[in-house]
Structure 1
Amino acid sequence: MLGYLLVTSVLFVAAGASFFGSGLDANGWRMVLAGVLGFAAAGVVWSAPLRGRVLGGVTSVAIAALCVSFSATDDYVTHLTCVLAAMFLGMHVGAYWPERSGWAWTSVLTVAVVCSSAASSFDAPWVMYPLIALAVVGSAETFGAFARQMRHSASHDPLTGLLNRQGLERAVEKTLPVFAARGLPVSMAVLDLDNFKAINDEYGHIAGDVLLNRVAAAWRSELRRSDVLGRLGGDEFVLFMPGVREEEAQELLGALRASHPAEWSYGVVCMPTVRRWSEIYRAADAELYRAKRARPAKSPDV
């Protein structure tokens, strides 16, 4: 987004500066205004995390700057440049916003671009407007689908479909400060299948993968919507339970144990004001190894 804003802002200002020789008219001032808006949005992106209200504000300013530049176009080359800028902005909207919000912003961008193009002094044939709409929507959806797939692959375990370590840490780190600020408890359990290596050695790694898939599916069916289950790797899983006290966490873990015959050990902790993933994970992991030392291991059934 920062690169888009800087490049388009430079182009807008340069287009406005081209009017200086003969004196700035209304179109020249509009181009300068579009550039100023773009640089202002770029400053916000540079200084603040690009999420939530900041992302909404920056997207709004970028659309406004593009509309101003469209209204100032009076020749084919400038109009085509603005269309390309609209396509690139659509790509950024698709990449940065979630799917549902992305469609809403793409709709706003498309309507705004078509209307400002129609209001410009450039005499374009009517077929130009549906083509502009198709170009913007197509760019946003194509790039957005690619970006969503990349984000999903980066945050999910390809075997079980659960969150991987990166996705799990991000989800937990996002939730912890909210519950800590309200003084609400959060619980975390680290789960580890017993004698998983023996399953791989005796039956093969495919059998181990089948076991992991079945266990993950069985556990997932017992969870509430707010619970977060992830696989860190191998046979180690993490279950994050926001707003749950240790007694309630033990009940949920009992439901997980009844959902599949595989044997596993776990460590669980409950913390009321924790704000960091590393703090609560280390505590739960330590409880897991205490439990494993105190309990004889059994071979899980596939």
Structure 2
Amino acid sequence: MQSVAQQIKQQVRQCHIDEINDLPAFLAEQTAPIVIKDVCALWPMVKQAKQSNQQALSYLKSLASNSPVRAFSAPAQEQGRYFYNAQMDGFNFSQYVSNLVELLEQLEQVTAIAEPDSYYMGSTACDYCAPDFNRYNPLLVTAHKCLKSLWVGNHSQIAAHYDNADNLACVGAGSREFILFAPEQVDNLYIGPLEFTPAGQAVSLVDFTAPDFERFPRFKQALNSAQIAKLTPGDGIFIPALWWHHVSAQSVFNVLVNYWWRQAADHLANPFDALLHSMLAIKDLPANHKTNWQQLFNHYVFNDNVELGEHTPDNVKGILGKVDELTARKIRQLLLQKLNR
């Protein structure tokens, strides 16, 4: 059986960093994934990785702190796939408290093993686990508030998921394969539970190494529009918010740096919270009621061609006006009153 990667023909579009004059402005205009070759090629991290895995590992170790981090390990037979167990009442990996120095020492010990267990530190703030990393390996990606995170490990497979924020993922060491699906493919990806997840985000239940099309027949439709990208040290990929992506690390030592940001004011709420509330309030209504509520959502939320409250005096417009910080507080207060009834 062919893996998902072997069945995808469409490559993610790409450019070279030398073609970009202003990276933050360029990224702000993107609405689809794009690979940026050599976006972080000047990093000392990348230069060491191009010499050898050992030099890359030693370099990162020189910057690592002893602050406790959450680490993960999966037995060799899982082939780095961090996922549910067979019964989906637990997971196929273990979690433990470590620190980046100890994790790097563990990775160093298993580099010579043909089929080692998988060890992994997921999204952890750079400033926390390697305080000087950003100073020596800088990259300006946006004027918005930005979370910069490190991912470190050997071989790993992270199930297809989406992020609420825009994402620039940069390969500091090793190699990464990204398989991407547009947001409209959600019906064809067979998403698992929302509240019980391997790492915080809901994931596709499809095994990308051996897809079961009898169990997941609509996944074939998703594959028709899937895109794939393979990155080496120095490369980055921009993934817009809500694009589904499956990520695999394919070397004995891998480092990924993520930059996450929302193109929105800090006082705006997380849209996922609104999704949860809508499931509570709307999902199980009669079909005609749902259709009518859809019209209201289109009017108040999704139709940018309608100026809400244009016929209303400014002094009584209330939350129909622009959602500034004061209006956001009013909406939160109103929600709390409604939820606490």
Normalised-by-shorter TM-score class: under 0.3
The structure whose residues are more often helix, as a share, is 1
The structure whose residues are more often strand, as a share, is 2
With structure 1 as the length reference, what TM-score do the two structures score? 0.21
With structure 2 as the length reference, what TM-score do the two structures score? 0.19
